[in-house]
Amino acid sequence: MIRLEWLFLMQLAMGVLMIVFLQKLMQMKKQVEKITQEVMNYISYVTEEVTEEPLTETKVGEGLSREKQRDKNPSQKEKEEAQNRLIQAVLGEYFP
């Protein structure tokens, strides 16, 4: 009888551990989904900005090449650097 009680106690402990690990797994899954969603939003924002950029360049500077227009507009480089810092900060927060 004593051995059956120990067996039941061990099964109970394993059940509790399984529940704890299942909760941890669900938390990790939610965190990965959140990160994936943030990255997808950022990628869609960047690709949207890139597709809009040639349209504005053709309207604004028809005779200017893309390189000359970038030289005239240094804020574009600053904007890209800010976006890169943002990406690095977000990734650094999740992956230290």
- pTM, two decimals, is 0.45
**What are the residues whose beta carbons fall under 8 Å from the beta carbon of 83, sequence distance 6 or more?**
46
Provide the percentage of residues in the chain whose pLDDT is more than 90. 31
CA distance 80 to 86: 10
The pLDDT tens digits of the residues spanning 3-49 come to: 888 899 999 999 999 999 999 999 999 999 999 998 888 888 877 76
